Amino acid sequence: MDTESLVEKLIDDGEKLVERISLGGFPVTAAFWLRASENERWYFYIVSPLVDDEGLAQAYRRLHPFVWGVSEPLWIDPLEIKLIGPSNPIAQDVLAIHRRAPGSRVSPIRWGGKMLGNLSVEGAYLYPLPVTTP
What would the pLDDT profile of 52-87 be if each residue is shown by its tens digit?
Answer: 999 999 999 999 998 887 667 778 888 899 999 999
Which positions of the chain have pLDDT values less than 70? 1-6, 70-71, 103-105, 131-134
HSE toward the beta carbon, residue 107, CA cutoff 13 A: 6
pLDDT of residue 7: 78
Helices 56-68 and 3-23: crossing angle, nearest 10°? 110
pLDDT of residue 132: 55
d(CA 49, CA 32): 15
Helix (H, G, I), strand (E, B) or coil at 109: strand
pLDDT of residue 97: 92
pLDDT of residue 105: 67
